[in-house]
């Protein structure tokens, strides 16, 4: 069928390419002409493994096209809303400006029966309001139906998560919308992917609730790391013990610098803001502390780095290995490592950053930081090396070889990637979150 995808950022571009790869004719719409130009050439404007291949195949095969003109979506039977819902300035609430603008632009085109499907992460209650707005203003009136189909993409694994998700959630008002979404996702449904049919409100809560639970887990393990460090225990051994408990499991039990990116931080804060609006502020205070613990990890790393430098970062040469908020991505939104780098720079340190994928984004977003083309270049004459993103490349660094590059053999492991015995045997002073200097 003909499907439109409104918004071609990280979510929209991936969704459009994956839908086209399953046989649909897809039109991606976005106001950014540079982004549309790149996508029309079959190139993603961000790093995501496997996506460029799908884009090229879709564009070259004629089943995937992109446009800045929303009129190109006119004949689509299903319209996906994939625009961003960032955090409002000065508040934790979600900013729905782009979503509402997309709905306003799309509504006049809806002159026949169709399905509008929200995928953006929104405060609960948004879908019900937008559904009434669409049916009141669209030329086709009540023949326009709205559904909510949240995304659960992991950056670095988004293509696989789109083609073979672990679940599909359909927030629908009737059987026709459910049937149509099952046709859209026919390949995944045939492959046995579980489908959860529910109401609009529950579907809206699905993504933000998942992120709130993941954020809580990450902050809790970082609290345990802080206690381990204070008590002289080893958080790596502790999390290994916890992970063997079937009730807990081992996923997202990695202590370190904390979470970042464009989803977990802002979704957790938006959940709290909406909970407060709904009158459950007292219970939502738990998630405020989750966010505070996560932010405190960044402060802990800064303070630990300064301590390793003898109490002052002034004129110190600091190498920061890792800028993306997580390995497998070039996304630097709310990056914990860049937060640490900027804080140390503000204290007078000379910062050099290396990341396998995110260098160009660092240069655009943090132009005062110096980027390097390799680990060795970033660490040349360094007084301190910080390992802050969990790239496998950093796990494999040879501490003996790197010792000849730096001025002082000091390393802070913010992701528990390094083998302490191996590094200390090479003469390094090593500090690791949750392990201290042991």
Rounded to 5°, the CA angle 304-309-315 comes to 125
d(CA 213, CA 187): 29
d(CA 107, CA 196): 28
Whole-angstrom Cα distance, residue 366 to residue 343? 12
151 Cβ partners below 8 Å, 6+ apart? 11, 15, 119, 121, 207
- Look-up of token digits 């995110």: 358
Burial environment of residue 60 by CB neighbours within 10 A (0 to 12, 13 to 18, 19 or more): exposed
Report the C-alpha gap between 200 and 145 in whole angstroms. Answer: 12
Active-site entry in 82, 114, 228, 263: 263
Contact 293, 259 (CB under 8 A): no
Place of tokens 């370190």: 256
- The yes-or-no answer on residue 263 being catalytic is yes
Q: Edge-to-edge strands of the sheet including 317-321?
A: 370-371, 350-354, 317-321, 384-387, 410-413, 429-432
CA atoms of 408 and 318, how far apart (whole Å) = 10
On whether the CB atoms of residues 432 and 418 are closer than 8 A, the answer is yes
* Helices 126-137 and 97-106, packing angle to 10 deg: 20
Q: Return the DSSP state at 118.
A: E
The Cα–Cα gap between 278 and 269 comes to 14
Enzyme catalytic residues: 263
């Amino acid at each position: 069928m003909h499907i439109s995808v409104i918004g071609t950022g990280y979510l929209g571009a991936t969704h459009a390419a994956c839908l086209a790869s399953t046989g649909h004719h897809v039109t991606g719409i976005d106001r950014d002409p540079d982004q549309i130009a790149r996508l029309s050439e079959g190139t993603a404007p961000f790093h995501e493994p496997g996506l460029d291949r799908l884009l090229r195949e879709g564009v070259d095969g004629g089943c995937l096209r992109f446009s800045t003109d929303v009129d190109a979506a006119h004949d689509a039977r299903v319209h996906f809303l994939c625009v961003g819902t960032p955090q409002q300035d000065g508040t934790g609430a979600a900013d729905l400006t782009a979503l509402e603008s997309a709905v306003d632009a799309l509504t006049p085109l809806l002159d026949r029966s169709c399905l509008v499907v929200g995928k953006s992460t929104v405060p609960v209650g948004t879908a019900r309001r937008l559904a009434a707005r669409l049916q009141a203003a669209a030329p086709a009136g009540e023949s326009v139906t709205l559904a909510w189909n949240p995304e659960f993409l992991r950056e670095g694994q988004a293509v696989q998560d789109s083609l073979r998700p672990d679940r599909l959630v359909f927030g629908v008002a009737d059987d026709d919308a459910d049937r149509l979404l099952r046709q859209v996702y026919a390949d995944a449904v045939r492959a046995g992917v579980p489908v959860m049919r529910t109401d609009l409100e529950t579907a809206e809560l699905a993504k933000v609730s998942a992120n709130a639970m993941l954020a809580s887990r990450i902050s809790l393990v970082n609290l345990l790391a802080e206690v381990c460090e204070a008590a002289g225990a080893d958080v790596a051994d502790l999390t290994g013990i916890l992970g063997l408990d079937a009730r807990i499991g081992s996923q997202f039990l990695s202590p370190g610098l904390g979470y970042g990116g464009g989803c977990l931080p802002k979704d957790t804060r938006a959940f709290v803001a909406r909970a407060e609006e709904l009158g459950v502020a007292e219970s939502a205070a738990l998630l405020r502390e989750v966010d505070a613990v996560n932010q405190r990890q960044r402060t802990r790393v800064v303070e630990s780095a300064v301590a390793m430098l003898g109490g002052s970062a002034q004129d110190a040469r600091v190498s920061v290995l890792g800028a993306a908020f997580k390995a497998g991505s070039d996304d630097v939104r709310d990056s914990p490592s860049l937060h640490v780098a900027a804080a140390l720079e503000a204290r007078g340190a000379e910062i050099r950053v290396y990341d396998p994928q995110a260098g160009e984004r660092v240069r655009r977003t943090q132009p005062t930081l110096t980027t390097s083309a390799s680990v060795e270049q970033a660490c040349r004459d360094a007084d301190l090396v910080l390992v802050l993103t969990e790239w496998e490349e950093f796990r494999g660094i040879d501490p003996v070889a790197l010792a000849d590059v730096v001025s002082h053999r000091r390393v802070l492991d913010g992701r528990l990637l390094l083998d302490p015995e191996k590094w200390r045997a090479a003469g390094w002073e090593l500090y690791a979150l949750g392990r201290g200097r042991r």
